[in-house]
Structure 1
Amino acid sequence: MTHREEILQYIRKNPGITFRRLADELGIGIGNLQYHLYQLEKEGLIFSKKLGGKRYIFPKEFREEYEPLLIAISNETQRKILLLLAEKDMNQREIAERLNLTQATINYHMNALSKLGLIEKRKEGRNVIYSLKCDIEIIIRVINEYRPKLWDKLADRLIDLMLTLKGGDIND
């Protein structure tokens, strides 16, 4: 298998992968990877999107409607925010408290999610309330289809949370 075929196959298995992550995971030099990606894009086999200083790469057959969601769930903080908003609409302070992050950090991620078209905001008095613009079932489907490894991480965290609430240890 050639480098280019290996790269294309990896992108098909990991749509929305960032350029840097692709280089790291395949162990290919930056210049070499740039050349092959340019050729693949020129041949119409892949396309890429730049957002927030990162380049996300997709196979040509990828469903365009999932692009923004896949970009967002690739970022841990944004994924957590989406899952929180799936529970209920919240303001920035509530999200910051739940995630134990600063409001400035949450503001940055809310702006990114807003640019992706995944959330909407509305004013209620002095508060800005954020809500999901996409269906939670679509989020689940995208995670399941395109990022199945995330389910393992989410399941591990759920087990840890349950053990913490129970006050136990896995070895009990």
Structure 2
Amino acid sequence: MIDRSQKLQELIDDNPGIQFREIMRSSGLKNGVLSHYLKKLEDGGLVKVMRGPRQVRFYSPNISEEESIVIKALRKETPRALLLALIKEDGLEFTELVKEVKKSPSTVSLYLSQIVADELVETKMVDLKKRYHIKVRELVDKLVEEHRPGSLEKSTSGFEDIINSF
């Protein structure tokens, strides 16, 4: 029989960047019990924990820092849409990105500034217009391909966009 630690490790390996609440829902474990097992896995080097403002994400230890940044963006609806739009057509202007991802300009601006700060996207002036270009195309392609059919997508919803737009 597979023990809880091993099941949790497999869940994290299969869902890179998964958050605590998602693990709790998927595993059926209560908060305290889950915290205990995740701490054991982290202390044993079997999972990597990335703590950020208002969120903690769990990764397999073989995920690099750069990969974890891309995965974090791909797990959120709007940043994922922005990255995929720029993969489809590199060098888009802000208004084109707003149209492409079908979100409000303020929401697009918020997430675009995040993925620029994370160095996933860069800006270039072309004909006096600011255009956005993807910097990590190969890595995004690789991670989207590796984690199909959508482990990077299943936990996202517009709810996170609403909360983060305030």
Q: TM-score, normalised by structure 1?
A: 0.77
State the number of aligned residues: 150
Shift of 1:142: 0.8
Equivalent residue of 2:45, what SS?
A: coil
Equivalent residue of 2:149, what SS?
A: helix
Could you list the runs of 5+ residues in structure 2 that have no partner in the other structure? 154-166
Matches of 1:97 and 1:89 in 2, distance apart?
A: 14
* Match of residue 160 from structure 1: none
* Match of residue 111 from structure 1: 113
Matches of 1:44 and 1:31 in 2, distance apart?
A: 20
**Is the Cα–Cα contact under 8 Å of residues 113 and 119 in structure 1 kept in the other structure?**
yes
Letter in 2 for 1:107: S
Residue 17 of structure 2 corresponds to residue 16 of structure 1: yes
Equivalent residue of 1:131, what SS?
A: strand
* Match of residue 95 from structure 2: 93
Higher Cα Rg: structure 1 or 2? 1
**Is the Cα–Cα contact under 8 Å of residues 68 and 116 in structure 1 kept in the other structure?**
yes
Runs of 4+ with >3 A deviation: 122-128
Shift of 1:124: 5.3
1:100-158 Cα distance to aligned partner (Å, 9 max, x none) = 211110011112212322011234577432111112x332221121x21229x8xxxxx
Report which structure shows greater RCO (CA 8 Å, sep ≥6).
2
Relative to 1, partners in 2 of residues 1:29 and 1:62: Cα closer, same or farther, differing over 3 Å? same
Matches of 2:26 and 2:117 in 1, distance apart?
A: 28
Matches of 2:81 and 2:36 in 1, distance apart?
A: 35
Shift of 1:30: 2.1
Q: TM-score, normalised by structure 2?
A: 0.79
1:17-39 Cα distance to aligned partner (Å, 9 max, x none) = 12221111112222222221111
Letter in 2 for 1:99: V
Identity of aligned residues (%): 22
* Match of residue 45 from structure 1: 46
